[in-house]
Amino acid sequence: MNQLVRSYLARFIALAMLPNCALLAQQPATKVAVVNGQAVLVGTREGKKALDQLKAKFDTRKKEFDARQTEIAQLEDQYNKSGSVMTAVKQEQLANIIAEKKKRFQRDAQDADDEAQRDQQQAFQPLDARVNSVISKYAADHGYAVVFDIGTQGSQVRYAATGVDITNEVIALYDKTYSDTPLK
């Protein structure tokens, strides 16, 4: 009797699934793509230009910070080598100078880092809006249902076949679409 019930139950489940199988067969395959949004931002002509401008601005500041680090290292070296022949007052003065220069350096470095992040955001924010519109257009034109950005931290994509990465195509379409329209 138990086997008879299992047989009827198996037939019932199979018959119940037939309409669902037919519906699934009629559904078109969902196309999914991935794009590296960061690579698109810096890969477009405008992105490269913005990156070059930011780099030029902060290269000068980097040289200044490098010189200040060298000065601090030289003072520390002087303190370590001449500490035994200096008077206690001179040692304390030099130690205070080193501590003050280090403290000022750290504050200025943090301020410069904050400024660099603000400048980067301001430079790429208008470009990011354009990139989003190009990704949407590309996805709609090519029948993609979903495009995952694998260039951002915390991406949920764990696997992506190489054939679904549309990063280079989006860069080319962006440059074609906005070749004559400067950012504001």
Average pLDDT over every residue of 114-141: 90
Q: Is 5's pLDDT higher than 80?
A: no
Residues 6 or more apart whose CB falls under 8 angstroms from that of 76 comprise 98
pLDDT classification of 21: cutoffs 50, 70, 90: very low
DSSP 8-state code for residue 19: H
pTM, entire model: 0.63
Domains in the chain and their CATH numbers?
2-177 (3.30.910.20)
Tell which wins on pLDDT, 182 or 32: 32
**Percentage of residues in the chain with pLDDT exceeding 70?**
79
CA distances from 53 to 2, 31, 57, 63 (A): 78, 38, 6, 16
**Percentage of residues in the chain with pLDDT exceeding 90?**
41
pLDDT classification of 46: cutoffs 50, 70, 90: very high
Q: Is 161's pLDDT higher than 60?
A: yes
Instruction: Report the distance separating Cα 144 and Cα 161, nearest Å.
Output: 15
The pLDDT of residue 25 is: 46
